[in-house]
Amino acid sequence: MTARLHENCLICGSNLLQSLRRYHAIYLVQCGSCGFVFSQTIPSEKELVDLYSSYGRDDYLSPVTIKRFHEILDRLEKFRKTNRMIDVGCGIGYFLEAAKERGWDVYGTEYTDKAVAICRSKGIKMQQGKLNASNYEAASFDVLISIEVIEHINNPSEEVEHFSRIVRPGGAVYLTTPNFNSISRLLLREKWNVLSYPEHLCYYTPRTIQHLFSRHGFRKMKTETTGISISRIQSSVTHTPEQSVSPTSKDEALRKTLESNKLLMLLKSFVNKMLTIFGTGDSLKATFVKQ
């Protein structure tokens, strides 16, 4: 069967698509108008079912990650009015557990029966499948969370339009996604193991993520690009499957070392500021406000 292809940019609609020679194995093209990078090939339903049915649900939750969750939630407190928060692609609900502890009325979406059941057992109101704005009252959420999800979606304009419908004016979207302009990708090029079809279909930079959201009624509040994953670089070079967040990973050991030393935390903060200034950190983190 002939693969289906996107003929236009998924953000701006331009048909000026240029194949990225080094990344032809995962079908990447770049829009000649807005610069967005994405997979031109549209994965089949079978490819996606085969991929996501193999996802495990025994994710390691680091104490450092819990601390980061609460720092994010501290920054989102200013948006609390309706007291409703939704996490799109919430996994097994770790972030929403932290929000629920702080009194938020929490909602989530996920695909697999197991993930939905686990989240419901934690008191999270769940919808199974992709986000559908018609399942919720318009403008009813203060905050929408999207952590390492938007890169999996090959219809980002439709997705952010759903965000726009359910987030109230003055409410916020907080998201994270891999940064295509990261030092790691620039060094490793096609060996960077974030590049994975059909798991990851869209690759963002600070400029293209802002362009996507501005087209759907959001203004940028803050964008950062932080961190360099030692584990991911090593795994990309050696082709060994080391997770960046696991009890024994090099990244986790480094995170714990940094957290235990105030001077090292200051150094980390400085490095992240430099990575943000130059737009080259591994993780792209952004907060957008609905206008």
CATH of the domain at 95: 3.40.50.150
Counted domains in the chain: 1
The pTM for the full model equals: 0.93
Q: Residue 262, SS3?
A: helix
Least confident of 8-12, 63-67, 232-236, 267-271: 232-236
Euclidean distance between CA atoms 163 and 157, whole angstroms: 10
| pLDDT at residue 170 in the model | 98
* Peptide bond between residue 156 and the one before it cis (omega within 30 degrees of 0): no
pLDDT tens, position by position, 26-83: 999 999 999 999 999 999 888 887 887 767 655 788 889 999 999 999 999 999 999 9
Domain range enclosing 100: 4-290
Q: Residue 37, SS3?
A: strand
Give the containing element (helix H, strand E) for 284: strand 283-290
Q: 59, 42, 52: which is closest to 3 by C-alpha? A: 42
Q: 106, 114, 70, 110: which is closest to 91 by C-alpha? A: 110
> 191: which 2 tokens?
């060996």
pLDDT tens, position by position, 82-120: 999 999 999 999 999 999 999 999 999 998 899 999 999
Euclidean distance between CA atoms 54 and 90, whole angstroms: 17
Confidence of residue 243 (pLDDT cuts 50, 70, 90): low
